[in-house]
Chains A and B, each alone.
Chain A
Amino acid sequence: EAQVTQNPRYLITVTGKKLTVTCSQNMNHEYMSWYRQDPGLGLRQIYYSMNVEVTDKGDVPEGYKVSRKEKRNFPLILESPSPNQTSLYFCASSGSGGGTDTQYFGPGTRLTVL
């Protein structure tokens, strides 16, 4: 089954404790992206990757890191989480550019930073 998986689905952590949210897709997609979703603000892009070893900033990259060492995986790293990073996070992938091709979203990761 074609899918994007994220782990964990739910996470409660404390300020400053480094964490990684994993994202994996099995569709051999070149494009992957991370978004956060907050009430009233819609989806905001954090980072995206056009291909392996190619990443770029979205609109809200501060406080986040990503890496794309292999095509299928695109982890999101919060080196020192803060309460303002409490949010719902989605990973997505598509065959090419994010808007020109169908973008498939993972189920989401709900993160709470205390």
Chain B
Amino acid sequence: GQSLEQPSEVTAVEGAIVQINCTYQTSGFYGLSWYQQHDGGAPTFLSYNALDGLEETGRFSSFLSRSDSYGYLLLQELQMKDSASYFCAVEGTTDSWGKLQFGAGTQVVVTP
């Protein structure tokens, strides 16, 4: 099976950089995704890492290291609108393509 662990909450000031770690226990998976969810809203897709390394999308970057069973989402130049919950998710192995498991989420609080 798979289980993913994320910190429950991170607080930072506007303009700062925040790294949200996601550690997992799995025998193999296709890739690691990240989603953002504002209070009362639906999750929105942020990024996907199929291969080890860094993927950059504007102010957000995501990293995966399969050998370390670890990934992270990096939020740069934090803005107030970045206050939200962030979830990592892994997609299943060859016998469960399409099966996703999510972490419990990290609440990011941005202060002025």
Contacts and interface: CB of A to CB of B under 8 A. Distances in A.
A33 B97 CA distance: 12
B107 to A, nearest CB: 11
Contacts of B103: 42
B48 interface: yes
B100 A42 contact: no
A59 B4 CA distance: 14
Interface residues of B, number: 25
Given A40-B104, A97-B30, A99-B31, A56 B42 contact: no
Interface in A80-114: 90, 92, 97-108
Contact of B99 (A40, A58, A104, A108): A58
B102 A44 contact: yes
Nearest to A6: B42
Interface in B88-112: 89-91, 96-105
Question: For this complex, into which size category does the number of interface residues on chain A fall?
Answer: 20 to 34
Contact of A50 (B42, B90, B98, B102): B98
A41 to B, nearest CB: 6
B101 A98 contact: no
Given A43-B43, A100-B48, A108-B42, A58 B100 contact: yes
Interface of B: 30-33, 35, 42-45, 48, 50, 87, 89-91, 96-105
